[in-house]
Structure 1
């Protein structure tokens, strides 16, 4: 019997091979796309799950109740970790963590490495296996280092690095370190990445800040004891914050801050290590969101759903061609379950073939997918036994749901209904219509989202940020020379070239450069009996000129005025924070015995991510603080040759350092990477969704015109025009597309409006985003249906009537 089921199923599939091909094509594309998107989603969700102690590992954060609202941060002062470990119960291990670039030298080799400064517990807490050396004594010596395997290979080749001495540039000084261990390279799914690990007390800021509680610049990770929960830790830490932040709490009370629900003005919190990848602190709360990942999975599900809708609709539409077969089978004694398994078996064969072709398609498209979406996911994440079993069960379930409904519908028909050739006594196809509305609604939703996303990206890309981003090149100062000396040499080497307009530097980048660096420094102090917090930027002379910033009041730093080393320039937001009628009269306290004079007020410019409001900013000169990026303004003509000149000049001065220069507009574009990836994803999803919907619509139009061949012939014989016949065949489908638009447009607007709230600077949500999406869907639907209906309307009516 089973053999007979297979034989009949294959015969029927071959008999209707055009529709079988359409069904297999749609499902194959859907399965292939869903496989790639699921691969990427599972890759993202697996971040930091490789740590053996992940259930007890947490990042420490601190919440401040300020007069302006709640603020959350992860930066801690140097004495924090040691005091926390000794005073708060429940901590098993603890480490401070600071990531910076460090120039490392061995013999003739000089590398700019991604360095982390950590405490000895680090390698006990995190699962970065030690391949060579003694794990128990790793970083026990303040002058010892741990290299990753790839770094060891770069520096030492095939020889063992254990016991070798390397030189690391710290604060412009060369310091020797002994290699005590080599660790395995971190997995791709790691939020912590490094090339070299050094003892925390060797970081450039340590000596100046080791006793200061108001200098916050590094993270802290803890491993809790097995029976201690984050809630218990947070409760245990209240006395700790009240003791060590007593002055800060009093200032918050004085300034009118309101306590949280527990009555606290400062509260320590813990974030699980497995949630670091997905956390945001921008809204003053610890917000863990996997929305982008679920969006990817959602697009995969929607595309698969549209393909399944096509299959259901075509199966039901084709059913009328098999009603007499069903009647004869029932007359000969076939039972409902036999008919059900016969029809479901045909669907199952189509799904198995489609699934296999979908997997093959995903393999062929993997490289293109990784390039387009900047994904490093591989199929390895899908090869676990549990996932493979789940995939097989999913295939059976979806084939049962999608193929089972038409099979159940046909198997329930009575013998009389079947022999009369009537599938639905009412003549209505409510399910078919509802499914078409749903799939086109999904397509319109995705197309609208594409327009809104690209509109926001264009808005951010073209917005005036308050500085010259087209003609300015930023260069990471990653060589071994002192940063100020390096900038001076760049000035001297480039002087006299008419295409080089200005040279300056700062300790932070604008946008995200090729080195990936993006950070901020915050300075807090009391000013006239109120707390003030400002972002701080250490700059060199000509910074304002180089970037084309606008001065609202006062002047820029002057190299001929020695007193400018004890002066600052603030932006408009900082001037409002100070609250002075004339901000040039303000003096900002640098220490108990030193005040900085305000010599200038800059017009606000976007020195941070464009999605944020412009925050208070203070610029100062500080020779004790190193510069990290040079800025060079070039003439608008011959920009390519100017870039090459700068690159060659940099390599001449720092022959062993990698040149990572880039224009600021490129840097700004890199800050939109998440949005651009989302736009590419949803655009691709929109194209696939509308194509699959149109394939299904075309198949439906073909089936219906075939069923109405005689009616078309009769109408043409009595004088109906081609236009009227075409309109008759297409109007019902076009009504469904219009209904889909009416339903989908408000939903798309709601989602788009909610998403745009994440941006302080955002595009206006205009009606035309949704109108164009609806019009485009309608136009594509008309084009799809017309290709078949016009052909039927043009057919010879005599030939049509002969088919009887």
Structure 2
């Protein structure tokens, strides 16, 4: 019987080639979209699941409230803590088996790696994503070592563990073990390190995207840990991981943290007016833990995964709706078959099985085509999503079973209504030729068309809103000049030493408007802040203020707008590190009127000593962080040493290539052993919106695909509608109807459905996109024209789709139409 059903299914597919082609193509495209998005979502959900101790690994995070004396003081969750917490927790709680800290070098974002022979660098390049960790790190996290022993790899202070990628760049195909590398930059202080391990890259599956690891005891941070007076309050710059003993309940452990804080940290926190609460976050949850923006790497939000999962589901639903619509629309052609089968004794159940079987056969044919399409489009999809998904992942047993289940579910879903609908035909009426489409079937088809276009119009609305928000983010005035600003890295002590000479050289070029040194610049992480308070108040009333140390000309080079007072100037020898230039948000935080700001004093307590600062100027508010964040208090201090991580070069030319060549030439003259490294400030700032840009690209492409599938179904329905009304069209033409009249007649019903879909989709789309915009502190108001354009676009596309068939039917010779009938 199954063989017979299969033969009938194949015959029906071959007999109705256009119907089969539309359905198979629509289903295969829908499945392809669904598969690609499922691979992406699976990748996002798989972070750190591969860790051997994943079920017992936790990040120790903290919620900090600053300023106990301030009414309504806000709290902030962050992933970093002070240095002493890790080993104090381990000694206090036997439930904690092992701990490790990780330090991200926030002062310079890249390190200079060199292989030297005979006193000269034979290999030299900058590498980002180098982290310093405790020697216990590889007891917590599972890395596959190609060379070396993970247990002992970081015991020595001058050891380094490389990824295979970096090892290959430095030493080619030869073994890297025990080779020496010189590392410049603040993290290494130009020390030599011996390679003690090489690991296979795990960044595609881990929130720690390291290219190399150094011991936390090395370099600047190692000296800080050995020599500084450490407390449980300040210098919150270490990410602390805990490995709990098997069977430990993390919730019960968390309940003991308040007593721990009272014992170890209460004194330090009280002195500066802080309040901290510790809590645990499972390491496998970190990548999607959006309550903290960055945990080594930027976190993602489950909102985007829900959006992509919805797009995958809706795209597949649209393809299934096409199948259902076309199957019920052509039911008259199967009516006689059903009637004969019922007369011959076929039961309803066997008929349902036959039609579902046909649907499943068609679905599995679409699955085979979809798998081929996925393989062909995966490289493009990887570029679209910035992923590194591999074709081999398609053949993972769980993925194979998921795709087979998807095909089966699609076949059952797409064929369910046609199967039950066709099996209900009355054989007596059908065989007498009295079969007509009933109202319920017509109403369902219309409802499904409306549903299709509700999804499509909603996706078009989402695309427009996302693109408008991205345009707003790219073009909003940030309060400084971001274009034609080049940030040149000074990533070694030797580079710091030649800063003044390099600045003087490049300023001789008439295309260089200005150049000045800085520790940080807008768009990258600013790691430094301090707790300021008014002299008439205590430190308990302190406010956390971001700060940056800059050269004299930095504020002018960046184009910040002065509200009152002045900026740093060489004409004022009294400008020292105790003079402040603040933004307006700082004044609001301290409730200082703008007209009384200049000369106002602020204090900062550090290790028992009070430091006094004076405001000399106020800048108009500017965005130092991305527009997800509100503008916070910010101050600038003058660094007269000078000792900077970057030099910002403002140029005024359309020929950027020539200027970059000039900057590199002058750099090589001063630092021949150190590569010239630069970036554009506006590009760095836009990197903060990579998640939104990626979502925008995905939504745009898949919206276009969903519209294509919807139009494909509409095209098929229009063809059947024109075929059913062949005689009517012929009569109307004989009576004088024009081609335009015929086209409007056949298009009117479909366009009415699209208009209904627009009316339904508009309020739903407005609500959904307003919810999405709440993720931004600065956002657009959704303009009215987006709804108009979306509606007009949907109607136009639908009209073009339907009118093609309508015009084709209207141009047929009426004599032929009537004769055929």
Q: TM-score range by the shorter chain?
A: over 0.9
1:395-442 deviation digits (Å, cap 9, x = unpaired): 122212212321222122221132234254447611111110100000
**Do the aligned partners of residues 158 and 799 (structure 1) sit closer, same or farther apart at CA in structure 2, a change above 3 Å counting?**
closer
**Do the aligned partners of residues 335 and 625 (structure 1) sit closer, same or farther apart at CA in structure 2, a change above 3 Å counting?**
farther
1:232-289 deviation digits (Å, cap 9, x = unpaired): 2221111222344435754798xxx9xxxxxxx5210111111221223369999984
Whole-angstrom distance in 2 between the partners of 1:467 and 1:42: 40
Matches within 5 A, 1:310-321: 310-321=322-333
The residue number in structure 2 matching 1:523 is: 530
Q: Does 1:202 align with 2:202?
A: no
The residue number in structure 2 matching 1:260 is: none
Whole-angstrom distance in 2 between the partners of 1:323 and 1:139: 77
Residues 478, 658 of structure 1: 8 Å contact kept: no
| Greater mean deviation of Cα atoms: 275-284 or 38-47 | 275-284
> What SS is found at the alignment partner of 2:382?
helix
Q: Does 1:70 align with 2:86?
A: no
TM-score (norm 2): 0.91
**Do the aligned partners of residues 563 and 390 (structure 1) sit closer, same or farther apart at CA in structure 2, a change above 3 Å counting?**
closer
> What SS is found at the alignment partner of 1:281?
coil
Alpha-carbon offset, residue 479 of structure 1: 4.6
The residue number in structure 2 matching 1:211 is: 230
Q: Does 1:142 align with 2:161?
A: no
Whole-angstrom distance in 1 between the partners of 2:151 and 2:376: 46
Alpha-carbon offset, residue 781 of structure 1: 0.8
1:109-155 deviation digits (Å, cap 9, x = unpaired): 33433321111110100001333333332322333332333333333
Q: Does 1:190 align with 2:190?
A: no
Alpha-carbon offset, residue 747 of structure 1: 0.7
**Do the aligned partners of residues 718 and 636 (structure 1) sit closer, same or farther apart at CA in structure 2, a change above 3 Å counting?**
same
Q: Does 1:541 align with 2:552?
A: yes
Whole-angstrom distance in 1 between the partners of 2:344 and 2:325: 29
Residues 507, 515 of structure 2: 8 Å contact kept: no
Whole-angstrom distance in 2 between the partners of 1:497 and 1:720: 76
User: Structure 1 unaligned runs (5+)?
Assistant: 258-264, 513-517
TM-score (norm 1): 0.92
Q: Does 1:105 align with 2:120?
A: no
Alpha-carbon offset, residue 564 of structure 1: 1.7
Whole-angstrom distance in 1 between the partners of 2:659 and 2:299: 44
Alpha-carbon offset, residue 656 of structure 1: 4.2
> What SS is found at the alignment partner of 2:77?
strand
Whole-angstrom distance in 1 between the partners of 2:156 and 2:682: 44
The residue number in structure 2 matching 1:505 is: 517
Residues 300, 691 of structure 2: 8 Å contact kept: no
Matches within 5 A, 1:382-421: 382-419=394-431, 420-421=433-434
The residue number in structure 2 matching 1:790 is: 807
The residue number in structure 1 matching 2:251 is: 231
Whole-angstrom distance in 2 between the partners of 1:220 and 1:474: 32
The residue number in structure 1 matching 2:283 is: 273
> What SS is found at the alignment partner of 1:389?
helix
**Do the aligned partners of residues 325 and 166 (structure 1) sit closer, same or farther apart at CA in structure 2, a change above 3 Å counting?**
closer
Count of aligned residue pairs for this structure pair:
788
Whole-angstrom distance in 2 between the partners of 1:352 and 1:769: 39
The residue number in structure 1 matching 2:262 is: 242
Alpha-carbon offset, residue 42 of structure 1: 1.2
Matches within 5 A, 1:273-422: 273-281=283-291, 289-419=301-431, 420-422=433-435
Q: 1:220 aligns with which of 240, 250, 268?
A: 240
Alpha-carbon offset, residue 362 of structure 1: 1.5
Alpha-carbon offset, residue 450 of structure 1: 0.6
Residues 71, 284 of structure 1: 8 Å contact kept: no
Whole-angstrom distance in 2 between the partners of 1:182 and 1:679: 37
Q: 1:672 aligns with which of 689, 712, 715?
A: 689
Alpha-carbon offset, residue 508 of structure 1: 1.8
Whole-angstrom distance in 2 between the partners of 1:3 and 1:73: 63
Matches within 5 A, 1:450-461: 450-461=463-474
**Do the aligned partners of residues 559 and 89 (structure 1) sit closer, same or farther apart at CA in structure 2, a change above 3 Å counting?**
farther
> What SS is found at the alignment partner of 1:137?
coil
C-alpha RMSD of the superposition: 2.6
Whole-angstrom distance in 2 between the partners of 1:391 and 1:34: 10
Matches within 5 A, 1:473-484: 473-479=486-492, 481-483=494-496
| Greater mean deviation of Cα atoms: 662-671 or 121-130 | 662-671
**Do the aligned partners of residues 533 and 623 (structure 1) sit closer, same or farther apart at CA in structure 2, a change above 3 Å counting?**
same
Alpha-carbon offset, residue 482 of structure 1: 3.9
Alpha-carbon offset, residue 355 of structure 1: 1.2
The residue number in structure 1 matching 2:58 is: 58
1:755-803 deviation digits (Å, cap 9, x = unpaired): 1111111111122212211111011111111111233233332221112
Alpha-carbon offset, residue 449 of structure 1: 0.4
**Do the aligned partners of residues 169 and 718 (structure 1) sit closer, same or farther apart at CA in structure 2, a change above 3 Å counting?**
closer
**Do the aligned partners of residues 82 and 203 (structure 1) sit closer, same or farther apart at CA in structure 2, a change above 3 Å counting?**
farther
**Do the aligned partners of residues 783 and 442 (structure 1) sit closer, same or farther apart at CA in structure 2, a change above 3 Å counting?**
same
Whole-angstrom distance in 2 between the partners of 1:684 and 1:147: 38
> What SS is found at the alignment partner of 1:671?
helix
| Greater mean deviation of Cα atoms: 27-36 or 577-586 | 577-586
**Do the aligned partners of residues 657 and 191 (structure 1) sit closer, same or farther apart at CA in structure 2, a change above 3 Å counting?**
farther
User: Structure 2 unaligned runs (5+)?
Assistant: 67-71
| Greater mean deviation of Cα atoms: 220-229 or 583-592 | 583-592
The residue number in structure 2 matching 1:262 is: none
Residues 30, 316 of structure 2: 8 Å contact kept: yes
> What SS is found at the alignment partner of 2:521?
coil
| Greater mean deviation of Cα atoms: 42-51 or 614-623 | 614-623
